[in-house]
Structure 1
Amino acid sequence: MSFIDKINPIHLDILKEIGNIGAGHAATALSAILNRKIDMNVPNVRVVSFDEMMELAGGAEHVVASVFLRIEGDATGSMIFILSLPVAEYFIRQMIGDETFSIDSPPHSELELSCLQELGNILSGSYLSSLSDFTRLNLYPSVPSLNIDMVGATISYGLLELSQVSDSAIVIDTVLAQDERFAETINGHFFLLPDPDSFDTIFAALGVTING
């Protein structure tokens, strides 16, 4: 049995609570950047297989915008934040104040791409800050890297090490309140890919053990 198979509903509830606190911090930061109220929450945290990760993001050949970063410090791992292209485009338009921006019309300026990178940085940084506060562990994100590519290529990049010890990861669903100018629910997915030893460290710090 791999370490991730030992995660139970109590662990997921803890991660969901931490995620919602992080989402609150992220919403505050985004509200300031976009100059409008943003509500954000984490409705669900679950363990999924790598194949299910692909399907959640639209299938292996579906093109998405993603931000990948390493989690560094006392408990290491990787995190991938994935947005559909329409949602990514929406955020970039709001952040740069240009309603004509289109992801389908490269080349993109450094400002346009840095906006999406900053969005991923805010969301992941808020989550890790919340996790760090709860655990009192020193956790911080690396400089995020932005990618616009097929889901299969995007996710595979983050699975190279984890796939040696597990075939599952943790998905943190993220939902932002619907904006009147965006017809669909604004949502995304965090895929948390902990290094093998990190979960013991994190949950021990929370006072919850992962039994063998």
Structure 2
Amino acid sequence: MATGFAQHAELDALTEACNIGMAHAATALSQLMGKGVAIQAPRLQVVEGPEICASLCDEPVRALHLQILGNVRGSIVILLKEADARRMLELLLGGGESAGPLNEMEVSTLKEVGNILASACLNALGLLLKMTLLPSVPTLVSGEAAQVLPLVVDRSCGKEPVFMVDTVFSICDTFCGGSLFLMPAPDSIPAMMSALK
């Protein structure tokens, strides 16, 4: 666990922003898919890059990677274990779970989910910080966590802190887990912390 990075009040404010963002994302996903989507209140913690890799080992994952544009620079990674990603696609698109490569519609759907989650989170965070934050177009990277994470977590070998948001999606009363990693660029962190004080 990274320490000395933010005070409890600052983390509480970020957690509240994440709660608001996830609630907005659930509404957007419900409207897009025509299905009831709920997102449980996320748990936010501050970790360091190596802790992320160690927690997943050789799990197969799907990672959606987006750049943060605007007053704060950095990146967002939305990480889904393979089983959760396929369960989410089954629920959103209908039909049974497949074991083969994702088709074009499935890839597009996962990217749209990533875009909605990142946009909602950044909108809520931007309101909190009184800054403009926008996501780039997402890219999807798949494979075992040990290979995927160094490609998308740009501080996997460093000591810079990462905001990790663990959350659970409920789609038509079926649960899927996921994690969102908010990684502000090192030179953006002081401005974020100052705005939170």
Q: Above 0.5 in TM-score?
A: yes
User: 1:36: Cα distance to partner?
Assistant: 2.5
Deviations 1:42-61 (Å, cap 9, x if unpaired)? 331111233331244xx232
Look up the SS of the partner of 1:200 in the other structure.
Answer: helix
Give 2:166's aligned residue: 173
Q: 1:12: how far off?
A: 1.3
Alpha-carbon shift at residue 6 of structure 1 (Å): 2.4
Residue of structure 1 equivalent to 2:10: 11
Distance 1:62 1:139, change over 3 A: same
Identity %: 30
Partner of 2:91: 94
One of 97, 108, 111 as aligned partner of 1:114: 108
Deviation, structure 1 residue 124: 0.9
Kindly provide the amino acid, as one letter, of the partner of residue 120 in structure 1: G
Shift of the 126–138 alpha-carbon distance from structure 1 to 2, 3 Å rule, reads same
Aligned to 1:28: 27
The CA distance in 1 between the partners of 2:157 and 2:4, in whole Å, is 13
1:88-167 aligned within 5 A = 88-97=85-94, 99-102=95-98, 104-106=99-101, 108-160=102-154, 163-164=157-158, 166-167=159-160
**TM-score w.r.t. length of structure 2:** 0.88
Question: Which shows bigger deviation, 150-159 or 187-196?
Answer: 150-159
Gaps of 5+ in 1: none
Q: Alpha-carbon deviations, 1:90-131, whole Å to 9, x = none?
A: 22223333x1341x212x321111101111111111000111
- Structure 2 residues not aligned, in runs of 5+: none
Alignment of 1:50-89 (within 5 A): 50-56=49-55, 59-89=56-86
The answer as to whether partners of 1:162 and 1:194 remain within 8 angstroms in 2 is no
